[in-house]
Structure 1
Amino acid sequence: MKILSEIQESKDLTKEFQDEVAVAKEKKKPW
């Protein structure tokens, strides 16, 4: 079982990853 700080850290990493994906999708738009 993960300790609370590890869970929070992985949540933050997931959020950062989702933000990066969103930015990448914006850049890939042809318009």
Structure 2
Amino acid sequence: MKRPQIKEIAILTGALLIHGILLVSLLTNV
């Protein structure tokens, strides 16, 4: 059985990583 959810999970994890890096950079800049 194919699982298209993997693609969605990959996109979600990527977005979370990007947001996390942005938040860390903002916190460190302050």
Normalised by the length of structure 1, the TM-score is: 0.77
What is the Cα-based RMSD across aligned positions, in Å? Answer: 2.0
Structure 2 counterpart of 1:27: 26
* Counterpart for residue 13 of structure 1: 12
Cα–Cα, structure 1 residues 23 and 2, in superposed 2: closer, same or farther, change >3 Å? farther
Gaps of 5+ in 1: none
- Per the normalisation by structure 2, the TM-score is 0.79
CA drift at 1:6: 0.3
Distance 1:18 1:2, change over 3 A: farther
